[in-house]
Amino acid sequence: MSTELIFGLYIFSLATFVGYQVISRVPALLHTPLMSGTNAISGISLVGSLVAAGSQHSTFASVLGCIAVAAATINVVGGFMITDRMLRMFKKREPEKARASTSAAAERSASTKSGSA
């Protein structure tokens, strides 16, 4: 076994352990944002794609790299954006007064929706 492999396994094992510990504290409420968030993070394979796309070894390798860059970027950009969009929606119970006005707004929008349906 090479030192490189052992070193890599060190990092992999410790990161898995940290990941498991941190993620087991995420409440079920946030499991969908967790999934899209980790998805954005795993878009870090972009780092590998960038090198593949930019090293100009051959057109074939560059084209593959370019597709990989695009696919990874979709995940990075889209993943972070949509996770934030979701998290913006999670709100605590509002004070009674504000609540009454938003529910009235919800009623209006619901009735217009039912009208169009």
Report 39-58 residues binding another protein (CB under 8 A).
Answer: 39-58
- Under the criterion CB under 8 A, does residue 97 sit at the interface with another protein? no
| Contacts (Cβ under 8 Å, ≥6 apart) of 72 | 43, 44, 45, 46, 49
Residue 82, Cβ density class (10 Å: 0-12 exposed, 13-18 middle, ≥19 buried)? middle
- Under the criterion CB under 8 A, does residue 67 sit at the interface with another protein? yes
Among 95, 98, 101, 109, binds another protein (CB under 8 A): 109
Phi, psi dihedrals of residue 104, rounded to the nearest 5°: -65, -40
Amino acid at the residue 45: S
- Under the criterion CB under 8 A, does residue 98 sit at the interface with another protein? no
CB of 97 to another protein, least distance (A): 13
Total residues contacting another protein (rule CB under 8 A)? 95
- Under the criterion CB under 8 A, does residue 19 sit at the interface with another protein? yes
- Under the criterion CB under 8 A, does residue 101 sit at the interface with another protein? no
- Under the criterion CB under 8 A, does residue 95 sit at the interface with another protein? no
- Under the criterion CB under 8 A, does residue 112 sit at the interface with another protein? no
- Under the criterion CB under 8 A, does residue 102 sit at the interface with another protein? yes
Cα(50)–Cα(65) distance, rounded to whole angstroms? 7
Please give the structure tokens belonging to residue 49: 């794609």
